[in-house]
Amino acid sequence: MAAPHHPPHDHASWGTPPLGAAGRLTDASRREALALARTGAVFDLSHVIDAGAPFMAPNQTPFLLSTWASWRDSIRRRRAGGFRNDAGSNLERIEMTTHVGTHIDALGHFSIGDRLYGGEDAAEVVGDWGLARLGIEHIPPLITRGVLIDVAELDGGAFLPPGRVVTPAELAARCPVPLAPGDVALIRTGWGRWFGLDNRRYLEGEPGIDVPGARWLTGQGVVAIGADNMAVEVLPNPDHGLALPVHQHALAEAGVHLIENLVLDELAAAGVTVFCFVLLAVKFRGATGSPARPVALV
């Protein structure tokens, strides 16, 4: 007997969900961004996802990939079905949260109390089978201007230490150009050097922005904020009574997506600070995030 189908929600009855800041992107802004790609060079801003990827327990679980069907099994089945050409195929099964590796957060990922972005009632939106609204499938392709804000050497070393807050003044001083509505701001703290190499260290805390820095960025009209760390924001928060307040502000208040676990060292080493940024999220219906492979075109 076939397994019962459990649709997450009656999506048709909800109408069009709010796009958040990504609604600022237009055909004209995409043309302007694509014009920044003058040389054809591509910088891959994502990590390889494998069993060594760090994850934040208990909410996140490890990445697991196993061979589900191999060439031997498929040849045997096809021979039994009368096929003569020994067509072997290999398929895998993957188990992971959508927040492992380089990924982007959907607007429905975080709430302030029982309220999601746009004042949506979390009790109505979040169900056993995903999000009825504000899921990752609603993020449009992000093709826009990217701006690298390199703060890694602010304290004289190659990277900032965990718990180090990057202030609005420091963001402004290190921002290579004035930010404009529709931009994606990428913050390099240097912390990405530990991803997959020293996961214990990578997860013990991280440098990053706090709410004032996040408000400065969202106030410039950016559609997404990314960083070379696990959460974009500083961990632990200087106010130990606050848990991930930047997520609350960016996602639930400002409608600005967060892009986490970016690879920014090569971009910085090449001296690239302004570029065409491209990111497409996988359209998992109702998901709170998606693995992504963002690139910088220059």
Would you state the structure tokens that stand for residue 78, as one six-digit string?
A: 């096809």
pLDDT of residue 44 exceeding 70, the answer is yes
Predicted confidence (pLDDT) at residue 3 exceeds the cutoff of 80: no
Q: What are the pLDDT digits (tens) for 121-142?
A: 999 999 999 999 999 999 999 9
Q: Do 68 and 186 fall into the same domain? A: no
Give the predicted TM-score (pTM) of the model: 0.93
Q: What range does the domain containing 145 cover?
A: 15-49+98-297
pLDDT above 90 coverage of the chain, percent: 92
> In terms of Cα–Cα distance, which of 290, 280, 247, 292 is closest to 117?
247
Q: Are residues 72 and 198 both part of a single domain?
A: no
Give the CATH number for residue 219. 3.50.30.50
59: confidence class by pLDDT, cuts 50, 70, 90: confident
178 within some domain = yes
How do beta strands 126-127 and 130-131 pair? Answer: antiparallel
| Mean pLDDT of all residues belonging to the chain | 94
78 and 224 in a single domain? The answer is no
Q: How many domains does the chain have?
A: 2
Q: Kindly state the average pLDDT of the residues 30-41.
A: 97
Q: What are the pLDDT digits (tens) for 238-288?
A: 999 999 999 999 999 999 999 999 999 999 999 999 999 999 999 999 999
Structure confidence at residue 10 (pLDDT) = 53
